[in-house]
Amino acid sequence: MKPVPHATSLRRAPVQRRSAERLTRILDACADLLDEVGYDALSTRAVAHRAQVPIGSVYRFFGNKRQMVDALGQRNLERYSARVTERLEEAGEGGWRVAMDAVLDEYLEMKRSAPGFSLVDFGNQIPVGSRAEPNHRVADRLTELLAGHLGREPDEELRRVFLIAVETADTLVHLAFRVAPEGDEKVIEEMREMLRAYLARVLD
């Protein structure tokens, strides 16, 4: 079964498989419509119609479209975490450089291919630019995922390092995708060099 958002983002967490599948259809429809019409034109009624569920099913999980979009961001974070974890397991040992490439590569792939990701990624960015909470979510998750891989304690110092790296990458990735639809490779490579220099100073 596909990952569903953490229960705290929902009015009611799905218990049965049928309910979980309905929630997945709702979030899939939300993601598709975000790409097609944007956040302002998004409506719970349109999502229900696209997902082929009663409008009451949407309100069973979400009080409004803002909560629905935030749940989509949380689902994206779960999927991203799974992708990074799988990538690190395949890579084996390699230290922070391998981990950094996995973190960046999987983010860029989702940015290019995941429906609705450009507007939402890991949390509600509405209005556009409201990035603080999603970036803290990502820093927290990376601290959990990577501490053991790096042989470090998941303490506040490591979390601060990841938060600085996430904020830096977030700004430059957005720049890269403003310059080119698929992300300007020169901007992305400059970002990698900046992150490598910073992480080498604090993690080596």
For 89-130, write each residue's pLDDT tens digit.
888 777 899 999 999 999 999 999 999 998 889 975 555 445
* Closest alpha carbon to 117 in 64, 61, 174: 174
Give Cα 86 distance to the centre of its chain: 16
| Euclidean distance between CA atoms 67 and 28, whole angstroms | 15
Q: Is the entire prediction scored with pTM above 0.75?
A: yes
Amino acid sitting at position 96: W
What confidence tier does 48 reach under pLDDT thresholds 50, 70, 90? very high
- Mean residue pLDDT of the chain comes to 88
Mean pLDDT score, 169-196: 96
Domains, the chain:
7-66 (1.10.10.60), 71-203 (1.10.357.10)
Cα-Cα end-to-end distance for the chain: 39
The answer to whether residue 13 scores a pLDDT higher than 70 is no
| Euclidean distance between CA atoms 89 and 85, whole angstroms | 6
Q: Which of 5-14, 79-88, 171-180, 190-199 has the lowest mean pLDDT?
A: 5-14
The whole-number pLDDT of residue 171 equals 93
DSSP state of 82: H
